[in-house]
Structure 1
Amino acid sequence: MDSITQAALGATVAGAIAGKRCNGKVLLAGALLGTLPDLDVFIDYGDDISNTVKHRGFSHSLLILLPFSLLLAALWHRYRPAEAWSFSRVWLLIAAGLITHPLLDTFTSYGTQLLWPIQGYYSLSSVFIIDPLYTLPLLFALGLGLAKPERLSRFCSLALVISSAYLGWSLMAKQQIESRALASLPPTHVAADKVFITPTPFNTLLWRIVVLEEDRYWEGLASVMDADTKIRFLEQHRGHWPLAQPSASLNDLRRFTDDFVRYDVDNGKLIVTDLRLGMMGNLAFQFQFAEQDAQGQWQPQLPVRLPRAEIQGDPTRLIDRALGAQNINAQLEICSANC
């Protein structure tokens, strides 16, 4: 999730745990703990693929954060002891502030390595990376609590209940869309584990579905507000890897995306795209892997992430589609214009 949301979550968790001990310093400490795991974005792993697939790695691992929280609590208890704060409460506040970050990240589509160094990306893919309906209750509780300090902890606890209920709703909405998607698949034998479902930006009403096969994939939009439960899919060409052998970077990207990638040749450049993040015509992660020389031979290169195209189009069409308007031409236009 975005940094504002993670800071708000960390502060709210700290406020709820602190109880009557809660004050502005506690909220600030919680906000810092809530954003700490994302400092790994400043680490350069050597190339754009490594920077992508290794983000949300060791700094998001429960196997690292829990021992680290014990170390921080021990240092605090030793050098800043306070009668009102027991070791167990200090540790609980630090641990909760840290681990709620990767747990929330797991609800997004960008995989989180919860058990690093054990390989594996965890993603429930039920909320967009920025979702105001999740964040606003947290910010509202913090603002209201600072205005009424005697009720700050109670406001924080209530906000956590509301935001957690929203995450529960997102999982139920996704389950509904998944059932509709499986019932609406084209008449081919597509394995259920090759269906990817994710919310569109800033909401959990409108969802994007990607159905993957060897040389093609289908993409569709579905809203929980749709009167017609059938999902209409647009078929897309997936392409193939033209070099003799896949590179180590490509294998890393395929593991990260669960093989939801597309291959394109554009002006002699080999581009590999993550199909999960973004929408048709405006996908967020595109990488150039190779370029053709004068003889038409592919020359591999260090993968470089390409800049994202500027988003154009009328955002109200996305809103209309989220509210249940169904038109296959409008759907294609939405997919091409929004991310």
Structure 2
Amino acid sequence: MDSVTQIALGAALGQAVLGHKVGYRAALWGGALATLPDLDVFVSMGGAVADFTYHRSFSHSLITLTLLTPLLAWLINKLHGQYPDLQRRWLLLVWLALVTHPILDSFTIYGTQLFWPLPVEPTGSGSIFIIDPLYTVPLLLGVVLALASRQADWGRKMNRVGLAFSSLYLIWGLSAQAYVTGIAEENLAASTDKNTPDKELLVTAGPFNTLLWRVLVMQDDGYLEGYYSLFDPDRRIEFEHYSSQPELLSGLQDHWPVSRLQWFSKGFFKVESAGNNDVIISDLRMGAEPAYVFTFKVAEQKGEDIVPVTDQRIEQPRDWGLAKQLLQRIVSRDN
């Protein structure tokens, strides 16, 4: 999730655990600690694909963060020498602020390596968009009201209400995703075009909401993309087919950026040749046709040969018009 949301969650948890004992310091430390896992973005991993796929790895590991918790809790309690009897409370605050960060991230589609260094596939359900006001705003309101009321019970209750609402919203997202997945499977089962059999299905939350869902279906000759809104009057999904050129990766199986992207994207990627003979791979999970957030050059075509190159990220311009269309699609299939 975005940094504001992570700070809000950490501050709300800090306020819930120790706000009645140490006041604003609990929310301050909770918010600060909740930002720590994302500091890995300032560490170069040695390449564009490495930076992309090692983000949310060691710094988002529940194992790493749990081991780090006692040291941080001891340092904080040492700094606040007037609270020697609250070591266990600080321990709980630190642990919750740290581990809820990657757990929340795992509800987005990016992919969080919760159990690094164990060889476990990244977790990314895609049941919530990376920015969703309905999740974030209740947390912020709860924290603000709690801090504004100082030690009043009603402020602490509002903070707990914000945490409860946001938690229930995550459950709602998973439920809505399961519902739309069932509809997508019905549509695919009823399809008369079986010339290109379906391989993988992915259903992810649309931009800034959990009412519109993007449906992606991988096929041998490309992929299908469609949208379904919970306001749609029927259970029909209109898919559009897009081509991919996986044959361009022939002979590149041992090229690390290629194999790494295939693994990290869980097979949801497209391959194409740009106008200047660049071979590029786009992660289809983040973005929408035709603009994707993570696109990388991994090889070049030189005559009949395809030669691996040092991976480079290709920046895609933000298409705010597409975002507007998708938000309008929530209430109308005609957009």
TM-score, with length taken from structure 1: 0.91
SS in 2 for 1:245: coil
Distance 1:126 1:38 in 2: 21
Give the 3-state SS of the residue equivalent to 1:301 in structure 2.
strand
Q: Is the 8 A contact 2:77 2:83 kept in 1?
A: no
- Decide whether the 8 Å contact of 2:203 with 2:214 is kept in 1: yes
| Worse-matched range after superposition: 118-127 or 89-98 | 118-127
Contact preservation (8 Å) 1:206, 1:322? yes
- 1:190 and 2:192 correspond: no
Provide structure 2 residue ranges, at least 5 long, that are not aligned to the other structure.
Answer: none
Question: Which shows bigger deviation, 135-144 or 69-78?
Answer: 69-78
1:220 maps onto 2:226 in alignment: yes
Does the 8 Å contact 1:61/1:113 carry over to 2? Answer: yes
- What is the aligned-residue RMSD (CA, Å)? 1.7
How many residue pairs get aligned? The number is: 324
Identity within the alignment, %: 35
Q: Map 1:235-274 onto structure 2 (within 5 A).
A: 235-242=241-248, 243-246=250-253, 247-267=255-275, 268-274=277-283
Contact 1:126 1:198 (8 Å CA) reproduced: yes
Aligned amino acid, residue 281 of structure 1: P
Matched, 1:280 2:283: no
CA distance in 1, matches of 2:91, 2:233: 50
Give the whole-Å Cα distance in 2 for the aligned partners of 1:207 and 1:26: 37
Q: Deviations over 1:63-112 (max 9, x none)?
A: 11111102222344456444474222110000001001001000100000
Inter-partner Cα distance in structure 2 for 1:282 and 1:218: 15
**1:124–1:310 CA distance, 2 compared to 1 (3 A):** closer
Residue 109 of structure 1: aligned partner: 109
Cα deviation, residue 182, structure 1 = 0.3
Determine if the alignment matches structure 1 residue 167 to structure 2 residue 170.
yes
Distance 1:322 1:79 in 2: 50
Query: Which residue is 1:27 aligned to?
Result: 27
1:200-211 equivalence runs, <5 A: 200-211=206-217
Q: CA deviation at 1:155?
A: 2.2
Q: How far apart in 2 are the matches of 1:124 and 1:34? A: 21
User: How far did residue 251 of structure 1 move?
Assistant: 0.8
Partner of 1:125: 126
Whole-angstrom CA distance in 1 between matches of 2:322 and 2:294: 23
**Corresponding residue for 1:15?**
15
TM-score of the superposition, structure 2-length normalised?
0.92
**Post-superposition shift, 1:296?**
4.7
Equivalent position SS for 2:134: helix
CA distance in 2, matches of 1:79, 1:240: 56
